[in-house]
Amino acid sequence: MVTSAHEGLHRIFQDRPEILAPVFGVLGIALPDKATVDAVTPDATETKPVERRIDTVLRVGPSDGDDFLLAVEAQERRDPKKASSWAYYVSYLQAKYGLPVLLLVICRDRATTKWAVGPFDCGARGWVAQRTYPLVIGPENLPVITDERTAARKPAMAAFSALAHARSDDIDAILEALGRALQGMEWEASDYFYEFLDVNLGDTPAGQKWREILSFVTYFPGRGTVRETAYLEGKAEGKAEGKAEGKAEGKAEGEARGEAKGVLRVLEVRGLSISDDTRARISTCTDLDLLNDWLDRAGSVERAEDLFDGGTGAVVDPPGQAE
């Protein structure tokens, strides 16, 4: 998983290559949606011990033309050294792979975006031997996605937009639209984007806003989401089992067993890891009030063990641990 905003700005092209077509569209370059995209080693180090590493390199095979390489660089600020580095990356990749090369630079502020456009010249005595023209994406030309339906259709592009516009006044609206869009998706599909932004926005104001949205989503606010539906089904399933088992083994004991199954069902639906001790502690609890509290909290805790931090009650020790 990516570990910083810098990483996220270029790694998303590896993880979600479907954003290439809309990004190229913003830049006025035609690229069909149907294209093969493969990661290429970013190591551009020669035999001498001078390490050079490109952020991300992709080999793109468009359905309507020849393959080319796309070098992706995330740039947080102006850096005079990049003029020579970027020229080297382009010439090195072309020489090594025998393919045409495009350089895409992603920025998060206007000043850096304006500078990164270049061109960057290499020459002397009034003669230019090499000129580098990067393709540049930044707040100036990257669309602001604040429409929930658009975010739902293009979640990868919406997440990329959120990261690129993290410092802009539009970021709250972008995150809110994406948060609502992800609620309507299967958890397996939306989990990447929840974690991607949580990690890459970090401890910024945008990151704090995203965590507020995450906690709201996790608590199931009655929006009919996939996770909320699974939660309610698990809760209903637990109560139904409790009534059925209550007829056979006593109402209180049966309801407790059913509530415990409901708690475990919700934790499992959310994909949380449940240790043997935690499972035993839940399964053997006979306190209905405590089980109901756990069932309500099962939809919002970050770890299964966190259930036990929010209530006190009679809990039966797991088998084999009683004194």
> Alpha helix (H) ranges present in the chain?
5-15, 20-26, 82-97, 110-116, 148-153, 155-164, 171-183, 187-201, 205-218, 226-249, 251-269, 276-283, 288-297
Peptide bond just before 119 cis, omega within 30 deg = yes
Distance between CA 223 and CA 219 in Å, rounded? 11
Calculate mean pLDDT across residues 66-89: 89
How confident is the model over 93-117, as pLDDT tens digits?
Answer: 999 999 999 999 988 888 899 999 9
Q: Which of 115-129, 251-265, 296-310 has the highest average model confidence (pLDDT)?
A: 115-129
In the CATH scheme, what architecture does the domain 5-137 have? 3-Layer(aba) Sandwich (3.40)
Q: Which element (helix H / strand E) includes 74? A: strand 68-75
Higher pLDDT, 281 or 8: 281
Report the relative pairing of strands 120-124 and 127-132 from DSSP bridges.
Answer: antiparallel
The reported pLDDT for the residue numbered 5 is: 58
Exposure string of 168-198, with b = 16+ CB inside 10 Å and e = fewer, is beebbebbbbbbbbbbebebeebebbbebbe
Band of residue 321 on the pLDDT scale cut at 50, 70, 90: very low
Give the phi and the psi of residue 281 in degrees, each rounded to 5.
-65, -40
Calculate mean pLDDT across residues 155-180: 88
Q: Where are the domains of the chain?
A: 5-137, 148-218, 226-309
How confident is the model over 175-232, as pLDDT tens digits?
Answer: 989 888 887 777 667 777 887 888 788 888 888 888 777 765 544 444 444 445 555 5
Q: Is 276 exposed, middle or buried (0-12, 13-18, 19+ CB in 10 A)?
A: exposed
Question: Is pLDDT above 50 for 323?
Answer: no
Longest dimension (CA), the chain: 96
Calculate mean pLDDT across residues 237-263: 66
The answer to whether 267 and 302 have CB atoms below 8 angstroms apart is no
The answer to whether 304 and 267 have CB atoms below 8 angstroms apart is yes
Distance between CA 307 and CA 301 in Å, rounded? 7
Distance between CA 246 and CA 253 in Å, rounded? 7
Question: Is pLDDT above 70 for 76?
Answer: yes
Query: Whole-prediction pTM value?
Result: 0.57
As a whole number, the mean pLDDT across the chain is 77
How confident is the model over 271-311, as pLDDT tens digits?
Answer: 788 898 999 999 899 888 888 888 878 777 888 888 887 54
Calculate mean pLDDT across residues 127-138: 89
